[in-house]
Structure 1
């Protein structure tokens, strides 16, 4: 396949002159990373052309083109069905609208998306900065956002330093451990360095409880919500993470655990090896795998996944490829919202990549462009309708 052929297919598609066979051929090529650079060049040219020329297309035609691209390869079980990388689908879709209807659509990219299409309501809250608090062994609570101290006094023999949104523990050998807990609020993230040097990143609405010194034969912590770990290797003292329905045992590795009460629990392994334990079932994971435990505790399911998507939150991104209720739970945790549903809500998949610094209104607008879901925002409550 030559670059000339790819350009020909793309230009035919944009001009609405392609045959069904040509459309299919283009969609197959778009799914291949070998054509990424050619695609980006064509999109850049298209935007420049749109800015320089008075090209117009009817709103109905533009929206039909968007929906066709957005829904390509959609399926009720997106985690099991291959789809385009999300940046390609939304970039091509938004770019087509931008070039065709120069009234103001702006190209969507991985790091930023804005449009000026009207929504039914406004007053959407903005994402927050880091919001976290520390509860010490004696029950005293410290607001980590508002304390100006660089050294935090938690107990005798324990040195705790605070720099930005990072809290680092260092314990003396004689320390008698107590349990500390770090909580993140909705819209907040925080990083913690445990006494053994293990690093933990907490996603929004999460918590981790840990001893101020690891004195036992194992290093044990308990989490709720979502936490990414980079474990300090200590072969004689395994690291164990506990949630409400599973345990993960490791020696030294990097992995993500998602254990919100309202969702199935999952562990995604990036490096090393871990054992996932639920009840009397133990499964060993390899890098690139994800272990899923449903809320009924009926076993452990392991599959291969894109680990970059699983830890996108750590890099300040949303990577969606799921039904709208799952997506709205994640948005609600970040933007501190309440979500209610009216009518028969679609179960189909929505895919998209957004920055966590994007406004909620812009993200919802992109979802509305699919034509199958609509939103109304009133203060901190979002109503979702068909």
Structure 2
């Protein structure tokens, strides 16, 4: 079908009888998207808004029902107005049904990607009002606006989410082999590419977590988490009473209550994007204290060394900790 033979009336008839070819369907949807139904109705009437048209149709229907006329005339006029109302409803229904596909066709949504550097913390708001704290060395991809049934985003790294509640539009996060589905809650996802696991920890609310390799979904509530082991492709659910620590961690504040020095060093390496080596025999030593990774690494290592009675030095880009 060339542009000169394009006939909206003919295509509309084919659409109603389900005889449109794929090419004709595309042409008809493109044509339909180019005009505003309300503007068309208003331009051919004495009304200034679509609401006035709807109110007039309703008042005429009510008037005809109450009007004391002969049955034949009353029924004819009533059905004529009902037909007009049905046409408006049909037009609105078509617009709603095809709204997302048509908009995505004529005005594609841009996909945005934001990446933080090592040592950089950042907060962002998504178009739906969801608040996200991005940890260092983290990348998030999300649409410029949400149009579809699902609010889809993806992350690599670590992020803390406070999802805006919307029952009709679930929020879906893809993080490697793990998918997290939520309506409205707060939780943390750790999904660094080089880490051995992907962790989802819930601070409040309820989320569903599943692995791409399984149809099983683990439902989590506050103070619970799932750990997906990449090597075995297994997803384990467990209690995690200390989930509230992520409220500080999202800001770069780490409270260690007897954590091994190996665990502390691991967190620092991720946050700062550096390599730290411990002298043999130090890895199991327990550390109690608070470290704020928004400060320079030299300040943090000074504080750690003071508490643990250690000293540090830098050699060939690697930081060394020893007694």
TM-score by length of 2: 0.59
In 2, distance between residues paired with 1:241 and 1:351?
A: 34
Q: Is the aligned partner of 1:320 residue 2:248?
A: no
In 1, distance between residues paired with 2:298 and 2:205?
A: 40
Q: List per-residue Cα deviations over 1:304-349 (Å, max 9, x = no partner).
A: 3222312322234122353333322322343342334554552344
Partner of 2:83: none
1:231 pairs, out of 163, 166, 178, with: 163
Number of residues of Structure 1 aligned to a counterpart in Structure 2:
216
Query: Structure 1 stretch 324-333 or stretch 335-344: which is displaced more?
Result: 335-344
In 1, distance between residues paired with 2:309 and 2:252?
A: 27
Q: List per-residue Cα deviations over 1:63-99 (Å, max 9, x = no partner).
A: xxxxxxxxxxxxxxxxxxxxxxxxxxxxxxxxxxxxx
Q: Is the aligned partner of 1:292 residue 2:231?
A: no
Contact 2:119 2:293 in 1 (8 A): no
Q: Is the aligned partner of 1:251 residue 2:204?
A: no
Q: Is the aligned partner of 1:205 residue 2:137?
A: yes
Contact 2:157 2:190 in 1 (8 A): yes
Counterpart of 1:233 in 2: which secondary structure? coil
Q: Indicate the structure (1 or 2) with the bigger Cα radius of gyration.
A: 2
In 1, distance between residues paired with 2:255 and 2:308?
A: 20
Q: Which runs of 5+ in 1 are unaligned?
A: 1-170
Aligned pairs (5 A) from 1:30-41? none
Q: Which runs of 5+ in 2 are unaligned?
A: 1-102
Q: List per-residue Cα deviations over 1:172-196 (Å, max 9, x = no partner).
A: 9x84212211000001111221122
| CA-atom RMSD in angstroms | 2.9
Tell which has more relative contact order, 1 or 2 (C-alpha 8 A, sep 6+): 1
Q: List per-residue Cα deviations over 1:203-242 (Å, max 9, x = no partner).
A: 1110111122222221111101111111112211111111
What displacement does 1:373 show? 5.9
Change in Cα spacing, 1:183 to 1:385, as seen in structure 2 (3 Å) is: same
Partner of 1:304: 240
TM-score by length of 1: 0.50
Change in Cα spacing, 1:343 to 1:315, as seen in structure 2 (3 Å) is: closer
Aligned pairs (5 A) from 1:115-130? none
Q: Is the aligned partner of 1:272 residue 2:205?
A: yes
What displacement does 1:369 show? 4.8
Counterpart of 1:217 in 2: which secondary structure? coil
Partner of 2:150: 218
Contact 2:121 2:251 in 1 (8 A): no
Counterpart of 1:213 in 2: which secondary structure? coil
What displacement does 1:246 show? 1.0
Contact 2:136 2:272 in 1 (8 A): no
Q: Is the aligned partner of 1:364 residue 2:306?
A: no
In 2, distance between residues paired with 1:262 and 1:351?
A: 27
Counterpart of 1:310 in 2: which secondary structure? helix
Contact 2:178 2:210 in 1 (8 A): yes
Query: Structure 1 stretch 343-352 or stretch 197-206: which is displaced more?
Result: 343-352
In 2, distance between residues paired with 1:265 and 1:348?
A: 26
What displacement does 1:379 show? 7.3
